[in-house]
Structure 1
Amino acid sequence: MNTEKRETILREIQYWRRSKLLSEQYCDFLINLYNDENKIKDSNPVSLQNLQQGSIKIWLFGFGIISLIFLISLYFSVFPWPLQLATALCVLVVCYGYSAVYRDRNQVISLLLAGAGSVLTLGFGLWMISLHNLDPDFWRPLLIATCGLLWCVLGFMLRIGLLQFCGYAFWGLLYAGFFIQRRPDAQLVELELLWVPLSVLMIWLSWLLYHRVSGVAGVYFGVGVCLWIMPEIDALWLRQGFPGWVSLVLIMKVAAGLALLFIFRKKWIAWVAT
């Protein structure tokens, strides 16, 4: 058995041990069968074991990263705006780039880096809007649209469903804000017409793409399910003046949605699992 295949099997056995899928004794037996356990390399560079046995280079690298974070935090506001923009872009490229690098090696680190990049994207944008006294009515929606598009694309490329879902959630927020300004006095029927067709469209796309494009069916289905109750959420939380019986409509729609999910459970579970 070649070295690469043996290391793959040993990593799987370690994963079974950590996840309690197999007993300790059986994992030890499998490890001894393929290789000596002491020769197994931990693929997580920030594990306690690697930090304990790491060279001075690892600690110096950590010191440099922490110092850089404090340097950016303390002096970002005094940078000229081109340097602020370049600094933000460099940080985001590093976060998302290493998230892509660790996608197959260590999913936990990949998710943490993608999450940090996403939070920093929004944080840097809001910070620069505040520092330069930009018009929030124009730049905040533009920032939301940019973040939504970026997260949808990167979530699809990195196969991170939560990141992709957050991108669609931001686009939904932008959609709601646009129609609040356009139709502030919209009735519940009009809100149903604004949101429910989008819900049906996303669920239909989930069914259409689940066996053609991997990594999107579950996201589209989750977005469609959330859009199903968005008319009532829009009326109760984002607008004013709606009567209390809208809450009963929300409860009835949730019950109807759960009933539909139960009836068609064998179909949509296949979409989400794929």
Structure 2
Amino acid sequence: MRKERKEIVIREIKHWRKSKLLPEHYCDFLLTLYMEGEGAEETSFFKKFTLIPLIMVYAMFLLTVLIFYFTQFPLLLQIGIAIIFAVAIFMIAKQVEQHSLLLARLYQLMAAMIVYLLTMQIGFAIMGNHTLVLGFATLINGLLWTLIGWKWKTKLFFLSGVMAFILAIVIFIR
């Protein structure tokens, strides 16, 4: 193929990727094919997606658990940190969603777990270490997850919400 025609095809494929006319992995394959391996590393998924978001999300989740269960921080400080971390994780999930839907869903689930821990922590602070707090926190978060799953058409959240409802029923019966 002549060099001019290759450059036109390569520009067109880059345009398709930018405007999302084709899935990104198809564009990567076509670019690698037409560029004959040259510049393939710049189109690679791993070049664009680093481990930094993954490490940040896991660190925020672990810090939240540590703050809730292994420190004596005031409740308002714990609530503030948990809210900031949950919002940050949701924002990271929104950015990662373009590259990996599975990782984005994992991050969203981790943020939802922070919200669940936060709900339990607030309930325990108000009512003490009572089983009803656990049941109501599970019920409220189950309702929230079911609604999110239904609105976003996400099976993971919908099923998590249904399982939380079942768990809440078991807690209340017991």
TM-score by length of 2: 0.63
SS at match of 1:123: helix
SS at match of 1:78: coil
Distance 1:153 1:144, change over 3 A: same
Over aligned residues, Cα RMSD in angstroms? 3.9
SS at match of 1:104: coil
Partner residue, 1:84: 78
How far has the Cα of 1:167 moved from its partner?
Answer: 0.6
Q: Residues 150-169 of structure 1: matches in 2 within 5 Å?
A: 150-169=144-163
Verify the 8 A CA contact 1:6 1:34 in the aligned structure 2: no
- Runs of at least 5 residues in structure 1 that lack an aligned partner in the other structure: 16-26, 47-57, 181-237, 239-274
Q: Which runs of 4+ in 1 moved over 6 A?
A: none
Matched, 1:40 2:40: no
Matched, 1:5 2:16: yes
How far has the Cα of 1:118 moved from its partner?
Answer: 2.8
1:82-103 per-residue CA deviation (whole Å, 9 max, x = no partner) reads: 2222222222222223223332
Select 2:110's aligned residue among 112, 116, 131.
Answer: 116
Verify the 8 A CA contact 1:99 1:109 in the aligned structure 2: yes
Matched, 1:138 2:135: no
TM-score by length of 1: 0.44
Matched, 1:170 2:173: no
Partner residue, 1:99: 93
Verify the 8 A CA contact 1:44 1:106 in the aligned structure 2: no
- Runs of at least 5 residues in structure 2 that lack an aligned partner in the other structure: 1-11
1:42-75 per-residue CA deviation (whole Å, 9 max, x = no partner) reads: 24222xxxxxxxxxxx69xx58x84x66665555
CA distance in 2, matches of 1:165, 1:70: 24
Amino acid at match of 1:174: A
Question: Quick check: 129-138 or 115-124, which moved more?
Answer: 129-138
How far has the Cα of 1:130 moved from its partner?
Answer: 5.0
Q: Residues 183-194 of structure 1: matches in 2 within 5 Å?
A: none
Q: Higher relative contact order by CA 8 Å / sep ≥ 6: 1 or 2?
A: 2
CA distance in 2, matches of 1:34, 1:10: 18
Structure number, greater radius of gyration: 1
CA distance in 1, matches of 2:62, 2:106: 19
How far has the Cα of 1:127 moved from its partner?
Answer: 4.5
SS at match of 2:98: coil
Distance 1:78 1:133, change over 3 A: farther
Give the fraction of aligned pairs with identical amino acids, expressed as a percent: 15
CA distance in 1, matches of 2:25, 2:98: 13
SS at match of 1:45: coil
CA distance in 2, matches of 1:12, 1:142: 44
